[in-house]
């Protein structure tokens, strides 16, 4: 107005005829109405009467286009009239901060997301249709529903402006969404504010501050999507930058002010509909671990109730599992005559940790049985073994490659596609949990079982290595296994194919000096399998602060020191084991060995501490794992050696040179 570009009459017309707002929470509805009215009143001047805002509707925006009437009675008649009026007029601009929620966090919550059949069908016919991933649940996140709803509401011309979850920018599941955005809109302006705290280590630091403060862990993006009827389809992208605090990011936005002031980068999508972190196209020609190198693949165990079935004490795990089973069966008895028994179950996680699968069993009236023979050793996290109650039905996804597993079978585990951490691989010989590799543990067994059972004693004739790989690499069956393991530790490989490895299953090229890779791969695998048995590194010192030291651990930690900038940081050369034992002179190199986003040493510090699960109340004590009181101390010293030796072996690998 001050510049003369719009008049009071223009603003009045917008306020009374063209501005609309929806809110389903009653308090938020009144606050929004008051804020809009107060802003107009300020513009309108003191001499004019206060004008109520009649464009706001008490409604669920998504639900409003699913049914004819939202609140069809006398009390809400005015509300319905407003909604009908809103639905009848064209909308050319939609602005919002949509919520983001893929679903309830726990079946014990009994708080599932609302269903919007028409909207979900629109997503199926667009974003999901062009997505190649099998699990498309994330495409029905509320913020993605908001994009789909708004895209349809503005029809062929208009603008959408959202501050939203920014995962769609690079998510593997969202490549169909990115394709449809590019096809449907003429101009996409995407300002990536980062802040993804589901990452770890240096990646987390690089993501910087969280835009919405401590309660938010997701990346945030500002998206302005324009349909103008032209033939252009352009993506304008801006990354806010690395290592910026929340305040620094907000200052950049304040200084930028408008789209015109942003130094946009024009993005051309690749064949995978990737906008950023685009993949190396040659990579797709190499043999995939799944079906190219190995005959079969499986994934890690998913229990859905870890605190009940995992633990450092086999006795306590058995007791916890038996208690859960007894509680479940008692509910079956209590509700056997109920019309809808699942609706009336005890939802307390102190009683039973429910899951969709367990509720399905309950609905069918199936009892659970406890069997102490189901207690096995599993690799819960890298270099962290726990006892597992590996019972059918109590563990939701057992991954049946692992039946009758107590035979020390070797396997290579890797991060799967879509992980928020840089790719890594680890050779193990215990049942792996899905969380061992960021909830996406991919498992490639060295040997398969003969027909009829899935894992028997080692049988050379039942190798899991395909003949295709033997011919491609010119190696023996066993050599292929170690060759693959070495390649996946090569810095050249990890850097060159970083984005491919984050977005698809690993593929292994044929490289020069293959035999050297085989030998180092063999040494790496043997080292990692024997991670509990290594001699302490000669330079590392164990300081005993008592003549009768305790070997019990509560929580290990690094002491603090001042860095060059005078900032207090962890002194990684020292680990305070407990009040009576300190480990000193740990080489910095030891922390360079990273598995699943953290150093091997950090995994020991993080996992080997006494923890009580808040929801179940179950305490897990690492001191219970072994009869040897020095087990945890010796494990830590051994893993320090493993870390240093791993880096030395990686440094011995030949240069990464692909043979085309």
At 45, the pLDDT band (50, 70, 90 cuts) reads: confident
At 452, the pLDDT band (50, 70, 90 cuts) reads: very low
Collapsed DSSP state (helix, strand, coil) of residue 161: strand
Length, in residues, of the chain: 660
Closest CA to 514 of 489, 493, 494, 486: 486
Residues 454-484 as b/e (b if ≥16 CB within 10 A, e otherwise) read bbeeeeeeebbbbeebbebbebebebbbbbb
pLDDT for the residue 114: 83
| Contact by Cβ (8 Å): 20, 55 | yes
At 420, the pLDDT band (50, 70, 90 cuts) reads: confident
Query: What's the rounded Cα separation, in Å, for the pair 327 and 306?
Result: 17
At 216, the pLDDT band (50, 70, 90 cuts) reads: confident
pLDDT of residue 459 exceeding 90, the answer is no
Q: In whole angstroms, what separates CA 163 from the centre of its chain?
A: 21
pLDDT for the residue 407: 58
pLDDT of residue 312 exceeding 80, the answer is yes
pLDDT of residue 458 exceeding 80, the answer is no
At 505, the pLDDT band (50, 70, 90 cuts) reads: very high
Q: What is the mean pLDDT of residues 238-258?
A: 95
CB proximity list for 21: less than 8 A, separation 6 or greater: 32, 33, 36, 53, 55, 56, 57
CB proximity list for 240: less than 8 A, separation 6 or greater: 191, 192, 193, 194, 208, 249, 252
pLDDT for the residue 240: 97
Residues 77-116: pLDDT tens digits? 788 889 989 999 999 999 999 987 655 566 776 656 688 9
pTM for the model stands at 0.89
Q: In whole angstroms, what separates CA 287 from the centre of its chain?
A: 26
Collapsed DSSP state (helix, strand, coil) of residue 257: coil
pLDDT for the residue 20: 95
Query: What's the rounded Cα separation, in Å, for the pair 192 and 197?
Result: 14
Collapsed DSSP state (helix, strand, coil) of residue 164: strand
| Contact by Cβ (8 Å): 272, 283 | no
Residues 25-36 as b/e (b if ≥16 CB within 10 A, e otherwise) read eeeebeebbeeb
Query: What's the rounded Cα separation, in Å, for the pair 540 and 645?
Result: 14
Residues 128-161: pLDDT tens digits? 999 988 889 999 999 999 999 999 999 999 999 9
Position with higher pLDDT, 73 vs 487 = 487
Residues 258-293: pLDDT tens digits? 999 999 999 999 999 999 999 999 999 999 999 999
Q: What share of the chain has pLDDT > 70, as a percent? A: 93
- Domain definitions of the chain by residue range: 1-89, 90-278, 279-298+399-517, 301-397, 541-652
Query: What's the rounded Cα separation, in Å, for the pair 480 and 553?
Result: 41
pLDDT of residue 183 exceeding 90, the answer is yes
| Contact by Cβ (8 Å): 244, 208 | yes
| Contact by Cβ (8 Å): 602, 573 | no
Q: Tokens 């910095």 correspond to what residue? A: 588
Both tokens of 156, joined, read 């062929």
pLDDT of residue 74 exceeding 90, the answer is no
Query: What's the rounded Cα separation, in Å, for the pair 488 and 645?
Result: 16
pLDDT of residue 388 exceeding 90, the answer is yes
pLDDT of residue 538 exceeding 50, the answer is yes
Collapsed DSSP state (helix, strand, coil) of residue 160: strand
Q: What is the mean pLDDT of residues 64-82?
A: 70
Position with higher pLDDT, 200 vs 152 = 152
Closest CA to 558 of 574, 545, 569: 574
Fold that domain 90-278 belongs to in CATH:
Rossmann fold (3.40.50)
Q: What is the mean pLDDT of the chain?
A: 92
At 405, the pLDDT band (50, 70, 90 cuts) reads: low
């Amino acid at each position: 107005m001050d510049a003369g570009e719009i008049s009071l009459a223009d603003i009045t017309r917008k306020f009374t005829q063209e501005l609309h707002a929806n809110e389903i929470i009653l308090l938020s509805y009144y606050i929004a109405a008051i804020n809009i009215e107060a802003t107009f009143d300020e513009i309108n001047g003191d001499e004019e009467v206060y004008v109520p805002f009649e464009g706001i509707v008490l409604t669920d925006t998504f639900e409003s286009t699913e049914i004819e009437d939202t609140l069809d009675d006398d009390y809400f008649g005015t509300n319905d009239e407003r909604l009908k009026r809103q639905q009848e007029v064209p909308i050319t601009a939609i602005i919002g901060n949509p919520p983001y929620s893929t679903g309830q966090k726990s079946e014990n919550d009994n708080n599932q997301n609302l269903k919007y059949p028409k909207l979900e069908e629109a997503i199926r016919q667009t974003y999901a249709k062009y997505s190649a991933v099998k699990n498309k649940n994330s495409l029905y996140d509320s913020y993605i529903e908001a994009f789909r709803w708004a895209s349809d509401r503005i029809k062929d011309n208009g603008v959408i402006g959202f501050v939203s979850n920014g995962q769609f920018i690079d998510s593997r599941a969202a490549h169909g969404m990115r394709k449809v955005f590019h096809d449907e809109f003429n101009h996409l302006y995407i300002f990536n504010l980062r802040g993804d705290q589901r990452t770890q280590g240096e990646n987390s630091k690089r993501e910087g501050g969280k835009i919405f403060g401590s309660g938010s862990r997701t990346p945030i993006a500002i998206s302005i999507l324009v349909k103008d009827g032209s033939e252009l389809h352009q993506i304008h992208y801006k990354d806010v930058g690395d290592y910026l605090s929340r305040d620094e990011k907000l200052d950049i936005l304040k200084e930028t002010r408008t789209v015109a002031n942003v130094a946009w980068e024009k993005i051309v999508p690749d064949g995978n509909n990737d906008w950023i972190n685009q993949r190396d196209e040659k990579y797709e020609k190499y043999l995939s671990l799944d079906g190219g190198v190995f005959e079969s693949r499986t994934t890690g165990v998913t229990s859905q109730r870890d605190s009940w079935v995992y633990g450092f004490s086999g006795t306590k795990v058995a007791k916890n599992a038996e208690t859960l089973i007894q509680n479940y069966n008692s509910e079956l008895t209590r509700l056997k005559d109920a019309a809808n028994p699942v609706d009336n179950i005890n939802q307390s996680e102190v009683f039973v940790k429910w899951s969709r699968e367990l509720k399905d069993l309950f609905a069918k009236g199936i009892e659970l049985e406890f069997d102490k023979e189901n207690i096995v050793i599993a690799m819960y996290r890298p270099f962290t073994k726990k006892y597992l109650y590996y019972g059918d039905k109590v563990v939701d996804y057992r991954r049946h490659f692992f039946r009758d597993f107590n035979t020390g079978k070797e396997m290579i585990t890797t991060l799967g596609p879509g992980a928020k951490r840089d790719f890594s691989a680890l050779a193990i010989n215990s049942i792996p949990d899905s969380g061992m590799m960021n909830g996406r543990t991919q498992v490639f067994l060295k040997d398969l079982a003969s027909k009829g059972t899935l894992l028997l004693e080692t049988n050379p004739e039942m190798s899991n290595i395909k003949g295709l790989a033997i011919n491609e690499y010119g190696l023996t069956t066993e050599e292929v296994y170690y060759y693959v393991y070495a390649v996946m530790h090569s810095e050249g490989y990890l850097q060159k194919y970083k984005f491919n490895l984050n977005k698809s299953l690993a593929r292994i090229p044929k490289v020069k000096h293959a035999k050297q890779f085989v030998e180092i791969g063999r040494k790496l695998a043997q080292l990692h399998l024997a991670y509990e048995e290594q001699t302490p590194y000669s330079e590392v010192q164990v300081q005993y602060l008592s003549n009768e030291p305790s070997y019990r651990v509560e929580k290990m930690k690094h002491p603090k020191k001042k860095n060059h900038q005078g900032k207090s940081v962890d002194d990684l050369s020292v680990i305070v084991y407990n009040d009576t034992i300190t480990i000193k002179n740990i080489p910095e190199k030891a922390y360079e060995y990273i598995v699943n986003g953290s150093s091997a040493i950090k995994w020991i510090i993080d996992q080997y501490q006494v923890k009580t699960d808040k929801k179940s109340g179950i305490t897990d004590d690492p001191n219970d794992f072994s009869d040897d009181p020095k087990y945890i101390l010796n494990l830590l010293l051994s893993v320090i050696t493993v870390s240093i030796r791993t880096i030395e072996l990686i440094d011995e690998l030949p240069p990464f040179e692909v043979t085309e």
